[in-house]
Amino acid sequence: MENTSFAKETAAVNTEFLSLNPSTLEVIGEVENTSADEIDRKIKNAKIAQKQWSARSDAERKEILLKVAEALQQNSKHLAEWITREQGKPLSGPGSNFEMQACVGWTQVPASLDLPEEVVFEDDTRKDILYRKPIGVVAAIAPWNWPLMIAIWQIIPSLRMGNTVILKPSEYTTFSTLEMIKVINSVLPENVLQVVTGRGEVGSYLTGHPEIGKVMFTGSIATGKKVIEASAKNMARLTLECGGNDAGIILPGLDLSKHIENLFWGAFLNMGQTCACLKRLYVHENDYENVVKALSDYSANIPMGNGADENNVLGPIQNKMQFDKIQDLLNDAENNNADFLFKGQKPDQDGYFIPITLIGNVDNGSRIVDEEQFGPVLPIIKYKTLEDAVEKANDSENGLGASVWGDELEEAQKIAAQLEAGTVWINQHGAINPFVPFGGAKKSGYGVEFGVEGLKAVTIPKVISIKK
């Protein structure tokens, strides 16, 4: 395969990238770009291993993956500490230990599911049977926000259905991911799961490789478009999750005492660095002051700092690029006379810390509302009518998730049906489940993950038609 373009790209940038602890800014290590020749070699080995892996019985693959889940469970403390050190999320609360338990669960569930052959048509003259066959070699591009959990979402269903996987972790969270791959590969046969490392050019070369049959990607819209362009070279099937700018609508008169905890974590899970976090909150003008006070009071009691301290449940922004982006949006809001309704205490230490911030006197058309902030900042927008709230909630190029908060479930469901998103939650936000399909609308991507539908997404349908 021609490697000239890749060689030119790697020559134009530093071949190494420093991974930092975002709480202390200590250097964890240097991340090297995997060479084009090495990527070619890994793909060749993956193709060979895939024939052997897919030849195993369905029951055998399920049994091996359940052993992977056991290995992840046994090493969860070690891996959680790595997540906290490199990604930044705290060990406590819905942090690194939580992420590791999700890794175990999202391994067990695909291993427990079945995708049997299906007779799709039969009469006196013919019988048509639909089978699901593996695609081949899957390229998985994992992000830095949930580096181990989202990698598991990509790896395990692919392996379950007989594919092999080559994973490229984010350059920001490479070492924690490598630690997890060591654990998984202590169980798997050789070359069924491999890793390449480095910056975007490594992912670009991998996803455009002619021997890649499927790409699973989680990241930005801009990079998602590059993955789509790369797939023109190999016609790889795609599952793309390209972020969200999720809206939440609080129906008039909501009893906040029942919902404030879920509302807070819906917005600020992982410091807001979650694609399906609540990032725009629409509140009726008569309830605005009560909602602001309730969220401010709750936020004031949430400790932030180095995630290695188990007293903390909020941590830093993962990297300087994202830190600067959030600061830019905050500066823009301030320059355009937004109200800073609440601002938490910033830890007195090094690290990419931004305190919980609630912003008012903004509306659609403000950058802080229109752009996905991906951080601990929540704009709260007043509305007069529910029709107005729905229109504003839908006024976005994103459509990953949304939520409706209301005491009357029937009314909440009517509003939920009008929102343009892949998932709409009621009285919760971001409550994903390994049995329930998850995917986006609009520019938030296409394809679904999780459950039986997620297994189908990493297969090729094959029909055998029999004339009687």
Domain parsing of the chain, residue ranges: 4-242+444-467, 246-433
| Per-10-residue mean pLDDT, the chain, length 468 | 46 68 97 97 98 97 98 98 98 97 98 96 98 98 98 98 98 98 98 97 96 97 94 96 96 95 98 97 98 98 96 97 98 98 94 98 98 97 98 97 97 98 98 98 96 98 98
For CA atoms 384, 386, 391, 394, the dihedral sign is: positive
State the CATH architecture for 246-433: 3-Layer(aba) Sandwich (3.40)
Query: Would you list the DSSP string of 164-220?
Result: EEEEE--GGGHHHHHHHHHHHHTTSPTTSEEE--SSHHHHHHHHT-TT--EEEEES-
Q: Alpha-carbon distance 456 to 453, whole Å?
A: 5
CB 226 within 8 A of CB 249: no
CB 278 within 8 A of CB 430: yes
Task: Write down the pLDDT at residue 12.
Answer: 39
What CATH code is assigned to 4-242+444-467?
Answer: 3.40.605.10
Task: Write down the pLDDT at residue 1.
Answer: 44
Hey, which residues are catalytic here? 241, 275
